[in-house]
Copies of this chain bind each other. A is one copy, B any other.
Amino acid sequence: MIPRQTVNMTDVAQRCGVSIASVSRALRGEPGVSPATRDRIMSAARELAYVVSPEASRLSGGSTGRVGVVVPRIDAWFYATVLAGVAGEFDAVGVDLVLCTLPDSSARHRFFEALPLRRKVDAVIIVSVPLSARERTRLDQLGVPTVQVGGHHPAGGRPWIGIDDELAASQAVGHLLRIGHRDIAMIQAVDQEGTAWAADEARIRGFHDQMAAAGVAEPTVVRVPWGIDGGAQGMETLLSRPRLPSAVFCHSDEIALGALRTLRKSGVAVPQQISVIGVDDHPSADLSELTTVAQPVREQGRLAAVQVLGALGDDGASMPVRTTLPTRLVIRNSTAPPH
């Protein structure tokens, strides 16, 4: 077994015959080092394969070189894809990604009360977690820049990146109305505790507004747990009612895929007997010929990373307050005019 490496700043300094102060300055690109000694230091550091101790650096006033990323869960396409966007940017600049998941309400409560990220990161990206006032306050107590992806718009000019969920819903429902549907139901996703995420509230608002504008009062809404199985269950609920709607707007593609599965198993033809539309443009949407409203997911993560890194830079670039990315309708074969 190879002995553990422990090359310190002192080793680099000795090799160059300079003080550790100069090494520290040179390595971080600070002014106050002559080009000649800077060069010597840089190459010595390279030869020795020296890396600064992040602990020591942080302790003496430097940064941690780490950014916390908070997602509700990771084994879901949306979050994994946002994360991939973030990770790509971080990787390019050598920032470490500390991952936090909040799978249930107890984990979530623990996260905001104990603040396990305290003293551990230079900034935080929080994805699709609608924050209560209390949670917002706790997050601010971390004392580091924060950028939010999705969820409610934060107050106080804090940076936010996302799509217009109400518009996305309008695009989906507008398509159904335009091709002649009037009897449209929605399958809404809620989490284990029955709480709707922020995106959901906006999407259901968009749904209701469009329906009201089309003169349809009180359309059917079914609430189901998040995920493919939830979608399957939602369609079972609709099938067990006296009359089947002519179209269904699903909160997300995963819900829609579950709904399609139930329809296939029940022998109900899509789109002949019922139209189905989702939101996301999940990789499986194409496979299942699902009409959907596409959103740029990886790009949301990428932009969040860029903004955070900018805020951390020497210039401390102020982050844009709100960045709304475009969504667009993708028509496939799961929607058609009512029979």
Q: In the complex, what distance in Å separates the CA atom of A45 from the CA atom of B287? A: 55
Q: Does A20 contact B (CB under 8 A)?
A: no
Residue pair A116, B101 in contact (C-beta under 8 Å): no
Tell me whether A51 and B228 are in contact in the complex, defined as CB-CB below 8 angstroms, given that A80-B80, A87-B99, A141-B4 are known contacts.
no
Q: Does A91 contact B (CB under 8 A)?
A: yes
Q: Does A81 contact B (CB under 8 A)?
A: yes
Residue pair B119, A53 in contact (C-beta under 8 Å): yes
A287 — which chain B residues lie within 8 A by C-beta? Answer: 228, 257-258, 260-261, 284, 288
Q: Would you give the 0/1 interface string for A100-141, flagging 1 where the beta carbon is closer than 8 Å to chain B? A: 110100010000001110111000000000000000010011
Q: Does A152 contact B (CB under 8 A)?
A: no
Q: Would you give the 0/1 interface string for A27-42, flagging 1 where the beta carbon is closer than 8 Å to chain B? A: 0000000000000000
Give the nearest-CB partner of A1 in chain B: B140
A55 — which chain B residues lie within 8 A by C-beta? Answer: 54-56, 58-59, 64, 119
Residue pair A2, B87 in contact (C-beta under 8 Å): no
Give the nearest-CB partner of A68 in chain B: B96
Tell me whether A97 and B98 are in contact in the complex, defined as CB-CB below 8 angstroms, given that A2-B140, A53-B59 are known contacts.
yes
A137 — which chain B residues lie within 8 A by C-beta? Answer: 2
Q: Does A283 contact B (CB under 8 A)?
A: yes
Q: In the complex, what distance in Å separates the CA atom of A83 from the CA atom of B53? A: 27
Q: Does A219 contact B (CB under 8 A)?
A: no
Q: In the complex, what distance in Å separates the CA atom of A53 from the CA atom of B66? A: 15
Tell me whether A51 and B88 are in contact in the complex, defined as CB-CB below 8 angstroms, given that A2-B137, A98-B66, A284-B287 are known contacts.
no
The 8 Å CB contact of A83, one of B75, B100, B143, B257, is B75
Q: In the complex, what distance in Å separates the CA atom of A77 from the CA atom of B282? A: 12
Residue pair A75, B64 in contact (C-beta under 8 Å): no
A88 — which chain B residues lie within 8 A by C-beta? Answer: 101, 103
Q: Does A84 contact B (CB under 8 A)?
A: yes
Q: Does A242 contact B (CB under 8 A)?
A: no
Tell me whether A119 and B2 are in contact in the complex, defined as CB-CB below 8 angstroms, given that A83-B75, A101-B84 are known contacts.
no
A198 — which chain B residues lie within 8 A by C-beta? Answer: none
Residue pair B140, A298 in contact (C-beta under 8 Å): no
The 8 Å CB contact of A286, one of B54, B116, B261, B286, is B261
Q: Does A240 contact B (CB under 8 A)?
A: no
A77 — which chain B residues lie within 8 A by C-beta? Answer: 75, 77, 80
Give the nearest-CB partner of A282 in chain B: B284
Give the nearest-CB partner of A107 in chain B: B91
List chain A positions with a Cβ less than 8 A from chain B: 1-5, 51, 53-56, 58-59, 64, 66, 73-77, 80-81, 83-84, 87-88, 91, 94, 96-101, 103, 107, 114-116, 118-120, 137, 140-143, 228, 257-258, 260-261, 283-284, 286-288, 298
Top 3 A-B pairs, shortest CB-CB distance: A4-B143, A75-B84, A80-B80
